[in-house]
A = this chain, B = another copy of it.
Amino acid sequence: MSTDAATARLAFEVVKTACSNCNLRELCLPIGLPPEELRRLDELVSTRRRLKRGDHLYRAGQAFESIYAVRSGFFKTDVLIEDGRDQVTGFQMTGELLGLDGISSEIHTCNAIALEDSEVCAIPFSHLESLSRQIHTLQHHFHKVMSREIVRDHGVMMLLGTMRAEERLAAFLLNLSQRFKARGYSPAEFNLRMSRDEIGSYLGLKLETVSRAFSRFQEDGLLAVHQRKVRILNTAGLRKLMTHQRG
């Protein structure tokens, strides 16, 4: 990334947070809102917050007050139980929401950690609720977002419950690919922001198994991997591997 352009932008960037001039609004919460309602949304997002790679956005056990929209960067969420075991429950990228799990008990139930330098918009939840009482479309959209999270989780349960290692990794890569595509990036070539260990945790596999699956895919000409750089060479092959296989 060009550093002087970046610094220049930063220098002039207005600190004021506003949805109405956010270039992510097609991905984020205000999706499809008419302009006048969009303007009312500006009062919603109170603050932005910058995080460096490795920083916690919130931790399990902390009081829940806001949900967060990823403006830039990449996150993981994980839960851990007493005996030391933990599991990555999701990876969040630009335009996706974090913190929905905290609503139920007013306490965050997982950790959210930046996998690269990132920026988020904090959305105080009580504000969101009161505004969504006034704006039907916002309310409905928010419900859809929560529901989509439930559907996504069902997909992961399916993956963990019925798929074998290579199918899981294929499904994971195709999902990432499609999300990068939706954000205007290449669906075929991208950098993984997470380690083999984190992928394994998310997929219910050990890091060695993930590594072996990557090697296998490379041997089979499905993709080219170099460290965290992935290029998908045969999407159809991955997709077939994901669904088919097994009697």
Contacts and interface: CB of A to CB of B under 8 A. Distances in A.
A244 interface: yes
A230 to B, nearest CB: 22
Interface in A74-126: 79, 81-83, 85-87, 89, 100-105, 109-110
Given A83-B246, A147-B146, A161-B160, A101 B139 contact: no
A144 interface: yes
Interface in A117-165: 129, 132-134, 136, 139-140, 143-151, 153-154, 156-158, 160-162
A201 interface: yes
A79 B101 CA distance: 22
Contact of A243 (B81, B133, B203): B81
Interface size class, chain A: 35 or more
A161 B201 contact: yes
Give 10 nearest A-B pairs by CB, closest first: A103-B147, A161-B204, A153-B153, A160-B160, A104-B147, A104-B148, A146-B146, A87-B161, A85-B162, A133-B133
Interface of A: 79, 81-83, 85-87, 89, 100-105, 109-110, 129, 132-134, 136, 139-140, 143-151, 153-154, 156-158, 160-162, 201-204, 243-244, 246
